[in-house]
Every structure is written in structure tokens, then in C-alpha cells.
């Protein structure tokens, strides 16, 4: 691991980290071609790309509903019980995130508020092929269902080694889909699956939001379709930062760093401490533990190339370094861990105290494990129920409210040179002040409409209205 020693008063510079902030251009261009093919050719492109990248050419992409219905049959009861525990705790956490529509009424009777509505359809991407990720299914499908999404669609690459007559999908992934309430499963992966979800094909209807992790091609495709559909984030390699002092157990911290490093050779692991001797003990611990790891090669590559140790001069500098790193996962492995929580500004998920192992958050704790990576915790948040909801502002004026706010609207519209904006409000004023006949086609044909749009009394009326009937009076949730 690379070591950065910070002198007294020195701050970590983000440029000292090894992150790559953007997807490689070649991958983005390749994903662009794939997305364009699927958008233009539909299922024909999906079949050709599935054969090219996954080695299979399915006649039908959708997994039969009866296969999904039988997903729990014959599975190890201990696994099912673990999956059910995780699902229950993930669901309970996300139910706390639900926001309600709300409305407030001003003194003049004007009703204002927000209407919260779930999207109609959400697509979740679950990595597959030779791997299996039931936890990813739970973390993406459950908040969608809690939000009220009616149609949750799962796409995952087909498994090449499926036994004859068996579905080309991990039974564990399928079981998670059943427990999480997934409605449709399609065996297609890669950038082509993202394109199918975004634009639809003959066999896969489009969705409104796409979430879930994937390789660089999946991330690039999500970036490309963003704007045509909603996405959760463009995620990069996984990462962890451990802020530890000498009260921490070096072997445990070593294991925590390895737990992230074994994901991917590109996974980033950061250790921030004020104790150089402790950092050395952690490095020795890694050497001891990695020798027995079945994923030793991946783990070593990650730690050698992407691992960083920051030795800070004091606690304030250490916390500042953590906020500069803005990690996906942060462990506070310190004696006063809970007391540090308020000083942490940038982190996707924060694990507080010696007993809060980050893998607990990966599987069963309840908060979502789909988190901002690559420093995007500076401005971004974990996957939540809100990713599957949309909000509509509600504006319902009374005549009194219109008379109170129209003059200010007209004056601002005049300042921006938007004549019809001012006229829209002015005609309503005229109708209230002079009667409906004053805005008839006949009456307006000979009227000075500029005087209606930008009347001379606007400035005086605006001043009179400040702090008057326009002030909020009462509020409540609906």
C-alpha cells in the first residue's frame, strides 16, 4: 500500500489519490455503439450481442413466471432464513424513508404543496454470468417495492454453465428476486440490457428508472441513457476507508481492508490513522491473512495498486483526510467513534465503532449497499426509496391569492421581457376586477394589451402586498 505522511498543518490533497474520475473513452464509445444497436434493432441486436458476449442465443429472454414462483423450492433452509432476515431488515429500513405528499394553505386560501408518486416501472441490473449476487437483488428491488413501483424488472446475464433443463440463472439470485417482489426476470446482461430497459424492445418493455451495479460497460450505458430514463448513479470500483487509532485491533482492520480489496483488482482501500506504528501492524496483518485467502491474487493487486495509507499529524487532520477521500464505505474504528460522527461530512455509509463490520451493511443491516463511489459522496447519496419516486409541485390559487401575487409576477416578467407571461396574470386580474366580459375576444380585440400585461400600478401593488396576504399561514401533511 502507498503511504502518505502528512506533516503538522498539512492537508491531504485529493490529487494524491489514485482515482480515475471518468470512464475510459474506448469503453464509452463501445457502449454507445451497443446502445444504438439495441435502440435501432431491438431483440435482433439483443440476441446477437448475447451470443457475442455471453455465449448464448436465447429464443426467449424472459424467465417463465412459474420458474420464479418456484424459486424457493429445494433451497437450503439456512440460506432461505438468512435471505428472509436480510429482506425484512432492508424493508424495515427503507420504509422509514417514505415521504408523503404534503400541502399548505396560505391566509388568502392559496393551496401549495408536493404530490409524491412512484414511477410506474423500474429496472434493476444484477451482475451474473459466473457470479451470483442475491444481496444486490434485495438492495435494489425492495426499495422500489416500498416506494410503490408496480412493475419491477430484473435483468441479469445468463449463466453459461446452467445444467440442461435448468434456468440459466443462479438459484440464489432467483430466490432473492422472489422474496423481494420482482415481477419480471430477463436473462440478458451488459450494456445491451441497459439499452433494452431504457428504450424497450419487442420482448422487453421500457422502464422509467434503472438502478444496480455492473461492469464499466454497464456503467457507461447507464451514463448514456441517463436523461431518457432515471438512473441511480454511475458507480465505479468499490472502496473502503478505515479511520483507526491505536485502540483498534490491527488484524481486524487488516481483514476489513481485505474485505473490500477482494471485490475487484481496482477496488480502493484507504487507512487513515495518526499512528505510523499501527499502520505498519496493519500491513503485517494483511500479509498474514492474505496468505490463506482464496482470492489472494485479486486482493493483493487491489491493495498494491489502489491501497493508500494516510498518516496524519493529529485527529483533526485525519478527519479532514477522510472528508477529502469521501469514501463509499467509512469505518470509524476509534475509541470515540460515535463522537466523531458529527464531523464526517462526506461518506456513502458510515460504520461506527469496533463491532460495525462493513460486510454487515453489505448484507443484512438494512441501509442500502448501493453507494456513491470515486469521491462522489461529496454530493451524492445511497440508493433510496426516493430514487423510485417523483415529486410534482401543486399550485392552486384562490382569486384573493391571484390578486396578491399577480403584480409581482407581472413586474418580474416585464424585467425578463416576457410579455405573454405578464399578460397571463394580467388577464386574470382584469377578469376579477372588471368581470368575465372584460376578457372576451371582443373586448380584448380593441384593448391595449400591453397595458394589461404591464400596468403602471404594478410597482405600488407589489409593495403593498409584501408581508400581507401572501404570507404562509398554515400547513399540514396529506
Catalytically active residues are: 328-329
Q: What radius of gyration, in Å, describes the C-alpha atoms of the chain?
A: 28
Q: What is the DSSP letter of 229?
A: B
Concatenate the DSSP letters of all residues of 90-140 into one string.
Answer: HHHHHHTT----EEEEETT--EEEEEEEE-SEEEEE---TT---HHHHHHH
Contact criterion met (CB below 8 Å) for 123 and 209: yes
CA distance 471 to 465: 9
Tell me phi and psi for residue 271, to 5 degrees: -115, 125
Q: Please list, in sequence order, all residues whose beta carbon lies within 8 angstroms of the beta carbon of residue 448, skipping any fewer than 6 positions away.
A: none
CB atoms within 10 A of CB 208: 18
Residue 5's contacts (CB-CB under 8 Å, 6 or more residues apart) are 276, 311
CB 429 within 8 A of CB 453: no
What count of Cα atoms within 13 Å lies in the side-chain half-sphere of residue 68? 18
Nearest to 307 by CA among 233, 256, 351: 256
Query: Which phi and psi (to 5°) does residue 310 adopt?
Result: -110, 120
Alpha-carbon distance values, 279 to 23, 194, 292, 317, 387 (Å): 32, 42, 21, 16, 39
Which whole-number Å values give the CA distances from 152 to 117, 142, 209, 300, in the listed order? 15, 9, 10, 38
Amino acid at each position: 500500500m502507498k503511504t502518505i505522511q502528512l506533516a503538522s498543518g498539512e492537508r491531504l490533497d485529493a490529487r494524491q489519490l489514485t482515482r480515475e474520475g471518468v470512464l475510459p473513452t474506448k469503453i464509452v464509445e463501445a457502449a454507445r455503439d451497443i446502445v444504438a444497436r439495441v435502440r435501432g434493432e431491438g431483440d435482433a441486436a439483443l440476441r446477437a450481442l448475447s451470443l457475442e458476449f455471453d455465449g448464448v442465443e436465447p429464443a426467449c429472454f424472459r424467465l417463465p413466471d412459474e420458474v420464479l414462483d418456484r424459486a424457493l423450492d429445494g433451497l437450503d433452509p439456512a440460506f432461505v432464513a438468512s435471505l428472509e432476515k436480510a429482506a425484512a431488515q432492508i424493508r424495515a429500513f427503507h420504509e422509514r424513508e417514505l415521504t408523503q405528499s404534503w400541502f399548505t394553505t396560505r391566509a388568502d386560501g392559496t393551496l401549495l404543496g408536493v404530490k409524491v408518486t412512484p414511477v410506474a416501472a423500474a429496472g434493476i441490473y444484477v451482475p451474473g454470468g459466473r457470479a451470483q449476487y442475491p444481496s444486490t437483488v434485495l438492495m435494489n428491488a425492495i426499495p422500489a417495492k416500498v416506494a410503490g413501483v408496480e412493475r419491477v424488472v430484473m435483468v441479469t446475464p445468463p449463466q453459461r454453465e446452467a445444467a440442461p433443463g435448468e434456468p440459466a440463472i443462479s438459484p440464489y439470485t432467483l430466490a432473492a428476486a422472489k422474496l423481494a417482489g420482482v415481477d419480471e426476470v430477463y436473462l440478458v446482461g451488459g450494456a445491451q440490457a441497459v439499452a433494452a430497459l431504457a428504450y424497450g424492445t419487442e420482448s422487453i418493455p421500457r422502464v422509467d428508472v434503472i438502478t444496480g451495479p455492473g461492469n464499466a460497460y454497464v456503467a457507461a450505458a447507464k451514463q448514456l441513457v441517463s436523461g431518457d430514463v432515471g438512473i441511480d448513479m454511475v458507480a465505479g470500483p468499490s472502496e473502503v476507508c478505515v479511520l483507526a487509532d491505536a485502540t483498534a485491533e490491527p488484524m481486524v482492520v487488516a481483514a476489513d481492508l481485505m474485505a473490500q480489496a477482494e471485490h475487484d483488482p481496482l477496488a480502493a482501500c484507504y487507512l487513515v490513522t495518526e499512528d505510523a506504528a499501527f499502520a505498519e501492524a496493519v500491513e503485517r496483518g494483511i500479509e498474514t491473512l492474505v496468505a490463506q485467502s482464496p482470492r489472494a491474487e485479486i486482493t493483493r493487486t487491489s491493495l498494491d495498486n489502489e491501497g493508500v495509507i494516510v498518516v496524519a499529524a493529529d485527529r483533526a487532520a485525519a478527519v479532514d483526510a477522510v472528508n477529502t477521500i469521501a469514501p463509499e464505505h467509512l469505518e470509524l474504528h476509534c475509541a470515540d467513534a460515535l463522537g466523531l460522527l458529527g464531523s464526517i461530512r462526506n461518506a456513502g455509509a458510515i460504520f461506527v465503532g469496533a463491532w460495525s463490520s462493513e460486510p454487515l451493511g453489505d448484507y443484512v443491516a438494512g441501509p442500502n449497499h448501493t453507494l456513491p463511489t470515486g469521491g462522489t459522496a461529496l454530493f451524492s447519496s445511497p440508493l433510496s426509496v426516493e430514487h423510485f419516486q417523483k415529486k410534482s409541485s401543486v399550485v392552486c390559487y384562490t382569486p384573493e391569492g391571484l390578486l396578491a401575487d399577480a403584480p409581482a409576477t407581472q413586474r418580474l416578467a416585464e424585467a425578463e421581457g416576457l410579455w405573454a407571461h405578464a399578460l397571463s396574470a394580467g388577464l386574470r386580474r382584469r377578469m376579477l376586477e372588471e368581470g368575465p366580459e372584460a376578457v372576451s375576444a371582443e373586448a380584448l380585440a380593441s384593448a391595449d394589451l400591453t397595458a394589461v400585461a404591464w400596468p403602471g400600478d404594478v410597482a405600488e401593488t407589489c409593495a403593498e402586498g409584501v408581508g400581507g396576504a401572501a404570507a404562509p399561514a398554515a400547513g399540514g401533511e396529506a
